[in-house]
Amino acid sequence: MTAATTSHHPEPAPLGGRIWTPFTGVLALLVVIMLAVLATRFIHGIGAVTNLSDGYPWGIWIAYDVVVGSALGASGFTVAFITYILNRGQYHPIVRPALLTALFGYVMAGASVFFDIGRYWEFWHIFVPRYAQVNSVLFEVALCISAYTLILFLEFLPAVLERFGMVRIRQKVDRVLFLLISIGVLLPTMHQSSLGSMLLVFGPQVDPLYQTQLLPLLFLSSTIGMGLAAVTVEGSVTSLALRRPVEGDLLAKLMRVGQFLAAAFLIMRFGDLAARGQLGNLFVARPLVYLFWVETALFAAPVVMLLGPAGRRPSRFFGAAALLAAGGMLYRIDAYLVAYNTGAGWRYFPSLGELAVTIGLIALEILAFIIAIRVLPVLPKMSRRAAPDPA
């Protein structure tokens, strides 16, 4: 057993250990409930399990599972960008877990789209030039997300190949990895900003507090922040759960970038509102305005918390990350559902069935992550400090 390089990082290795615990059992149960709801959905139609209507044709399956889910999955491309494009090799240990989270996030988003679209068996139309409608923002988003999911598979492939000792293919993949990584940065930049642009065509149906031509930039900046926050939260939780030391320095530095992006988001947002003469509407008492201020607080808190050297303490950056992720989530849910109003008389709150599917998908994602880190080389090998890898 030799390590090929004299890297100072421990190589990733499967964790091993038991897969079935009470916790994973509960996760599996949630997945089974989801499957039951989905069976009803496919037999009796979308209306049978959702509260969707022609006033709210999109619910949490889109606003949460796709829009929020994929934004949290931005962890993959942001970390890949920092590690490989900005050449910060010290981030290596967190690349694989970040890619894996991204992969599951995107697969979950794709699955959710499949449950949500009414005529799912025609989904392939998206990929056929004959049907392509290039002016549609959704067309770009759908194509881009599909392509990126594929790229994520390929980016993660080395871990799988390594596990099964497929050296040759592994080397081939490695040779084009730089291209995969580059495409894997370009595509999310495109579709994450487009997830914001998607609201533009809704025009006056989206509240003027949220409807702006800056939507793509607001979505992109908050996505990157959310992605970094997701890596930080996940990294901390994984370390705690596995009783490993937290990658404190790395995560703290990541959250510095997150802090910068949160600040950029706030500046752009308020600047835009001022430019459009909307600041006065921020002091009208109505639910959307309250939510706006909660979002603002969630974005502002990390900026403040991470100021100064105290920002490097794990409890600080963990808290800041959690708040930033929550801010990004709320912003998306608000923009897609709360700020959307197609006229009087329509209301929407997710049904139990919709919640069961969303929760089931999240459970599936966590379950898959747990299984993956136990059987695949994802996390850096962690022999106790005193016992370094025999070289």
Partner 1 sequence: MLTRRNLLKGIAGGAGAVAATPLCKEAQARGAHQLPDDAVGLLYDGTLCIGCRACMSACKEANDMPAEHTALAIGNYWDAPLDISGKTLNVIKAYRSGTATHKDQEQDGFAFTKVSCMHCVDPSCVSACPVSAMTKDPHSGVVHYNVEACIGCRYCVAACPFNVPRFTYDQAIPKISKCQLCQHRMDEGKYAACAEVCPTGATLFGPVIDLKKEIERRRSLTPGTQTTYPRGKIGGTDSFQGPVAHYVERTYGETEIGGTQVLHLSGVRFELLNKPPLPKVAPARISESLQHAIYNNLIAPLGFLGTLAILAWRNMRPKREPAPAGTAAPGPTKPDGGAP
Positions in 214-273 near partner 1 (CB under 8 A): 216
Q: Which of residues 331-370 bind partner 1 (CB under 8 A)?
A: 340, 342-344
The CA distance from 299 to 321, in Å, is 10
Radius of gyration of the chain (CA): 21
- What's the closest the beta carbon of residue 255 comes to partner 1, in angstroms? 20
Distance CA 100, CA 105 (A): 8
> Which residues inside 139-158 make contact with partner 1, applying CB under 8 A?
139-140, 142-143, 146-147, 150, 158
* Minimum distance of partner 1 from residue 174's CB (angstroms): 5
Nearer Cβ to partner 1 (22/388): 388
Which residues, including other chains, have CB under 8 Å from residue 284's CB and lie 6 or more apart?
Answer: none
Among 24, 33, 160, 202, binds partner 1 (CB under 8 A): 202
251 vs 320 by CB, closer to partner 1 = 251
The answer to whether residues 146 and 126 touch, using CB atoms and an 8 Å cutoff, is: yes
| Out of 15, 30, 46, 79, the residue judged to bind partner 1 by CB under 8 A | 46
Q: Residue 275 Cβ, how far from partner 1 at the closest point, in Å?
A: 16
CA distance 288 to 207: 9
- In the list 10, 24, 33, 138, the residue contacting partner 1 (rule: CB under 8 A) is 138
DSSP classification of residue 82: I
Query: In DSSP terms, which residues pair with 12 in a beta bridge?
Result: 380
Does residue 29 bind partner 1 (CB under 8 A)? no
* Residue ranges in 167-196 that form contacts with partner 1 under rule CB under 8 A: 167, 170-171, 174-175, 177-179, 181-183, 185-186, 189-190, 193-194
Q: Which residue type does 70 have?
A: S
Residue type, 43: I
Question: Closer CB to partner 1, residue 43 or residue 386?
Answer: 43
Say how many residues make up the chain: 391
Binding range to partner 1, per CB under 8 A, among 20-28, 164-172, 241-249, 308-316: 164-172
Is 278 an interacting residue with respect to partner 1 (CB under 8 A)?
no
Q: Report the C-alpha gap between 27 and 21 in whole angstroms.
A: 10
CB nearer to partner 1: give 47 or 271: 47
Per CB under 8 A, contacts with partner 1 among 110-129 are 113, 116-120, 122-129
In the list 16, 204, 287, 390, the residue contacting partner 1 (rule: CB under 8 A) is: 204
Beta bridge partners of residue 236, listed in sequence order:
none
Looking at the Cβ atoms of 16 and 203, the one nearer to partner 1 is: 203
Q: Provide the minimum distance between the beta carbon of 384 and partner 1 in the complex, in angstroms, as a whole number.
A: 21
The C-alpha atoms of residue 199 and residue 219 are separated, in whole angstroms, by 11
- Are 101 and 76 in contact by the 8 Å Cβ rule? The answer is yes
Cβ distance to partner 1 smaller for residue 14 or 319 = 14
Q: Which is nearer to partner 1, 124 or 283 (CB)?
A: 124
Window 55 to 94, contacts with partner 1 (CB under 8 A):
55, 57-58, 84-90, 92
Specify the stretch interacting with partner 1 by CB under 8 A; choose among 43-51, 277-285, 305-313, 327-335: 43-51
Three-state secondary structure along 189-252?
A: HHHHHHHHHCCHHHHHHECCCCCCCCHHHHHHHHHHHHHHHHHHHHHHHHHHHCCCCCCHHHHH
The total of other beta-carbon atoms located within 10 Å of residue 32's CB is: 10
SS (H, E, C) 372-389: HHHHCCCCECCCCCCCCC
The single-letter DSSP state of residue 123 is: G
Task: Select 139 or 270, whichever has its Cβ closest to partner 1.
Answer: 139
Indicate the DSSP class of residue 340: B
* Measured distance CA(195)–CA(179) in Å, rounded: 24
